[in-house]
Structure 1
Amino acid sequence: MTIRTLTVLAAAAGLAACSGMGAKPPMYSQAGLPDAVKVPAGHTVVMETVGAGDITYECRAKANMPGQHEWVFVGPDARLMDRAGKQVGKYYGPPATWESMDGSKLTATQVAVAPAGTGNIPYQLVKANPAMGSGAMQGVSYIQRVSTQGGVAPAAACGASNMGQKQVVKYQADYIFYRAV
C-alpha cells in the first residue's frame, strides 16, 4: 500500500469513529412511568430539563382539624438545566411557573401525581396554560416531573409552638416538556 492509500484509510477510520459524536440523544421514554402521569398520545417531547433547587414548606394548622398541624408546601425555587448542565431556565412559585432564559414562561394545572419512592416528591403531570411571551415555552401542552430526588416535607416536628415556621428542603427532578403534534 502506498502512503496516500494509508492516509485515506486512516482518515476514513477516524470519520467512522467520530460519526456517533454530537448525535442527538434519544428522546425521553414514558414507558416506565405509572399510567396516571403519562402524557396523552398526540404530544411529543420538545425539551428535557433537570431542575435542582429548594422547596419551601411552612408549619400550619390542618384545615378542619383543630389542634393539629402539618408542613404545607409553599413553593419551589429551582434552576432548570439542559442535559449538558447549562442553565436554560428557572422554576419558581407560587404559582408554579416555568420560565425559559428567553423570557417566555407558563403556569400549569396539576392533572395527576404518582408515588416516586420513599423520601421523594411524587411524579407529576401538569397541563400547561398558554405561555406568556415568545420562546421555548410557547406551545408547551404538558410538563412531566419525573426522576425525583428528595423534596418531601421536613421530618421536624410541626406544632403550635412553631406554627408559621418555614423549612427549606433540597430536591432534584427532571421536567419533560411536550407539545401537541
Structure 2
Amino acid sequence: MKLAKRLALTTTAVALGVAGTFLATTADAAPAQPAVAKISVPDALKVPDGNKLTGVFDAKGVQTYTCTDGAWKLLEPAATLSYKSDKSHRPVALHSRGPVWVSTVDGSAVNATAVATSPKTGTIPEVLLQATATRGTGVFADVTYVQRLNTSGGVAPTTACTGTEQVGVPYSATYAFYKPAK
C-alpha cells in the first residue's frame, strides 16, 4: 500500500509541476500536432471510419503490478505523454488508472475502455480503446478512440510473488487520439 500511496503522490506532484511549468511557458492553446509518422497499425486496432486523428504523443512511464493470489496483476499505468518537437519533448498529459488521460495544458480528460488488443512479443500489447467519457473543451474534448502503439517494455514480472508486493515496470508507447470527423 505504501507504494500505491507514493505513486499517487508522485503522480500528483508531477502533474502540478508539469502543469505549472508548461502553462507558464505556453499560450492557452495546445501545441500544434506533428505530422503523423509512419506508424504501423495492426488491422485489429484500426479506428472506424468517421473519426480523424487529432493528436499523437510519446509516453514514458511504468505499468504497476500487484501480487494477487500469488500472481502479478496489472494495478495501474502511470505515464507522462509528451509532444515531440525537433528540439525537445514537452509534457502535455498524464495517463493513469481508468484508463484516463488528463491534459496538463488545459485540464481536459478522456476515459476509455479497451475494445481490441494486438499482442507483441516481449512487451505489453498494442491496444485500441473507445472513449467512455470526456471532460473539458481542450485537447481531449470529444475524443472517440485512443490507440496505444509502438509499445516497449511494461511486461509483468515472470517471477513468483507473495503477499501484497507491488512493482513498477518501465514502458514506453505512442498514443494516438481520434475525434469525430465533421
TM-score range, shorter chain: 0.7 to 0.9
Corresponding residue of 1:148: 151
Q: How does 1:62-141 map to 2 (within 5 A)?
A: 69-84=70-85, 85-93=89-97, 95-101=98-104, 102-116=106-120, 118-141=121-144
| Alpha-carbon displacement from aligned partner over 1:27-68 (angstroms, at most 9, x marks no partner) | 2556x322111111121110000110111101111xxxxxxx
Asked if the contact 1:130/1:138 (under 8 Å) is kept, the reply is no
CA distance in 2, matches of 1:134, 1:42: 20
Letter in 1 for 2:102: E
CA distance in 2, matches of 1:104, 1:134: 6
| Alpha-carbon displacement from aligned partner over 1:90-141 (angstroms, at most 9, x marks no partner) | 1011x2110111101111011000012x221000000012311221100111
Corresponding residue of 2:180: 180
SS in 2 for 1:36: helix
SS in 2 for 1:49: strand
Corresponding residue of 2:13: none
CA distance in 2, matches of 1:163, 1:174: 33
Q: Which has the larger radius of gyration?
A: 1
Asked if the contact 1:28/1:45 (under 8 Å) is kept, the reply is no
Q: 1:40 and 1:28, CA in 2 relative to 1: closer, same or farther beyond 3 A?
A: farther
Corresponding residue of 1:27: 36
CA distance in 2, matches of 1:44, 1:154: 36
Q: How many correspondences in the alignment?
A: 145
Identity %: 37
Which runs of no fewer than 5 residues in structure 2 stay unpaired? 1-32
Q: What is the TM-score with the length of structure 1 in the denominator?
A: 0.75
Which runs of no fewer than 5 residues in structure 1 stay unpaired? 1-23, 62-68
Corresponding residue of 2:23: none
The structure 1 segments of at least 4 consecutive aligned residues displaced by more than 6 Å after TM superposition are none
Offset of 1:173 from its aligned partner? 0.4
Q: What is the TM-score with the length of structure 2 in the denominator?
A: 0.75
RMSD: 1.5
Corresponding residue of 1:21: none
Q: 1:51 and 1:156, CA in 2 relative to 1: closer, same or farther beyond 3 A?
A: same
Asked if the contact 1:53/1:77 (under 8 Å) is kept, the reply is yes
